[in-house]
Chains A and B, each alone.
Chain A
């Protein structure tokens, strides 16, 4: 087990190395991004092209790569050209909002997807199953930016039951502590903390549904197929033969083993969530990492683009690593190879 974890860590190190080479070559091939290296030394706001050329021409590629690595390791991702703040610190201001939204989306997807998948598997090849499977295909094919606009049009503009944008009502003043609005509102000592919490929850619902739609479709499908294969196993038949009720068989016996492939599926959804958060956050004006990065793209703020993709990609790779280790701990069969 220890060797396996070490091997996973080695894999992670290799991926991280490839990642840094990738972001470094972005910065090196397109020298606008290199400006932050000068910036570290001189602390000037404006960098002349001569300075940039000086750095690109005088130093060897490997030298600047090692310089880059050492700066990343100490948390120096450069400084935003627009705001002048540290990219590393800005990332930790915006990223919790994306995480909160993603958690909401996953919760929605799991909360609805698991029961739907189980229900479909129980009624295999009958009409509820067919209905659910074809609905997941619809959820899979829907462009989420359009889906978001439809939901806003219906629930926010026509019915007026959900807010159109942002994370919390503008009347609340909550100082960020953790960056997670739901937690911050609960631990704040303002007199309106409770109202603020419900306002934050209220603002989370629609974006979380939008972001969770594709994961919902995927999770429903994978729950259904893994449940179907588990339900045909001998030990399920023997559990039924012992007279255990079908509810108990499904929830206590079958679901445990059916969950293992679902964990893997869940891991693959992280990329989907990050991709979706770019679109969802820009529609709902959600102040998260996706919107932050997009705005950097519009303003051609290269240090933020380079630092942002490095940070987000590291996060994705790290989560994959953790999930791989988790699924090895849960499922001994995966430890073999």
Chain B
């Protein structure tokens, strides 16, 4: 038995996931990006331990202290303080938690709606399909941030409403990706073979089609995640998302916008945080797309 397993060792067929991982691992840039992204996630999770101060606590005797590497900086405040003396490092760390959790909520909400609609639209009658697709085409044609701003304007500014607004904006992409993938798989021979074997529709869907539409949907998740972070930050910047005392990155940027001349670090640092998060997610997304070998459509 042992000799046999050794004999077949070289021809062991790797599972789909390990094959994806191997391809992904070849792309060093994507791996670095993944490490960066995971460390941002860890920072967000352990924000309570990492942040030296309460993000809302203001030190009135240390207003606009530059980051610690400047001559007049203070080592107590690693990245300096803002216009009412709040520690920038603590605010950014808690901002990571806020941004990532908000984006996760947005993506989960829009993915569950979008994938459900996509499945319905690809399997249901032609009329229902056309109705759903017309509405989705319409939402897609509208500029995303404009739509989010208008939705927020009508249901009122604030965090929960910003989540709904951005989630609505992201729904059509999930619908389109799911629908295209299912339509593509539905008429392939292995599905027809399974149909001929007499499997039920539910089994056919969950066991044959669903595993094969996973790659494009996963890539769509990464795209949606980076869009969600960007749009939430943009809404925060415009004063329509997270409101002022919240340490959301976009909100921090809009608060410090006017002090750009005296305290440039209060502008550059939150922007860098958004930028690196987005860059790492986009690189990971690119890596995933290459690894799972999806043609860009």
Contacts and interface: CB of A to CB of B under 8 A. Distances in A.
Q: A and B: real partners?
A: yes
A145 interface: yes
Interface string B141-158: 111111101101110000
A157 interface: yes
A320 interface: yes
Nearest to B147: A309
Contacts of A279: 145, 234, 237-238
Contact of B146 (A18, A26, A146, A293): A293
Contacts of A300: 153
B150 to A, nearest CB: 5
Size class of B's contact patch? 35 or more
Given A138-B279, A140-B282, A153-B264, A275 B137 contact: no
Given A15-B137, A143-B234, A293-B149, A274 B257 contact: no
Nearest to A140: B282
Contacts of A294: 149, 238
A186 B270 CA distance: 42
A137 B145 contact: no
A308 to B, nearest CB: 8
B207 interface: no
A40 B30 CA distance: 59
Given A143-B271, A149-B260, A279-B237, A271 B286 contact: no
Contacts of A142: 275, 278
B226 interface: yes
B184 interface: no
Contacts of B149: 278, 293-294, 297
Contact of A146 (B141, B238, B274): B274
A278 B264 contact: no
A141 B278 contact: yes
B275 to A, nearest CB: 6
Contacts of B134: 14-15, 18
A141 B275 contact: yes
A47 interface: no
B275 A320 contact: no
B219 to A, nearest CB: 15
Interface in B238-297: 238-240, 250, 253, 257, 260-261, 264, 267-268, 270-271, 274-275, 278-279, 282-283, 286
A165 interface: no
A245 to B, nearest CB: 32
Interface string A293-312: 11011101000010001001
A282 B274 CA distance: 20
B93 interface: no
Interface string A143-167: 1011101101100010000000000
Interface on chain B toward A: helix, strand, loop, or mixed SS? helix
Contacts of B237: 145, 279
Contacts of B127: none
- Which of B147, B154, B264 has the most C-beta atoms of chain A within 10 angstroms of its own C-beta? B154
A146 B271 contact: yes
B296 to A, nearest CB: 8
Nearest to B256: A149
B17 interface: no
- Which of B145, B152, B226 has the most C-beta atoms of chain A within 10 angstroms of its own C-beta? B145
A14 to B, nearest CB: 6
Nearest to A274: B143
Given A18-B135, A146-B267, A305-B150, A275 B141 contact: no
A191 to B, nearest CB: 35
B142 A316 contact: yes
A328 interface: no
B253 A145 contact: yes
A92 interface: no
B230 interface: yes
Given A275-B146, A294-B238, A305-B154, A149 B253 contact: yes
A316 B141 contact: yes
Given A19-B138, A271-B141, A317-B141, A137 B286 contact: yes
A251 interface: no
Interface of A: 14-15, 18-19, 22, 26, 30, 134, 137-138, 140-143, 145-147, 149-150, 152-153, 157, 270-272, 274-275, 278-279, 282-283, 293-294, 296-298, 300, 305, 309, 312-313, 316-317, 320
The 5 lowest CB-CB distance pairs between A and B, nearest first, are A146-B271, A274-B143, A141-B278, A275-B145, A297-B153
Interface of B: 29, 134-135, 137-138, 141-147, 149-150, 152-154, 226, 230, 233-234, 237-240, 250, 253, 257, 260-261, 264, 267-268, 270-271, 274-275, 278-279, 282-283, 286
Given A149-B253, A300-B153, A309-B142, 9 more contacts: A140-B282, A147-B271, A270-B143, A275-B146, A297-B150, A298-B239, A309-B146, A313-B141, A320-B141
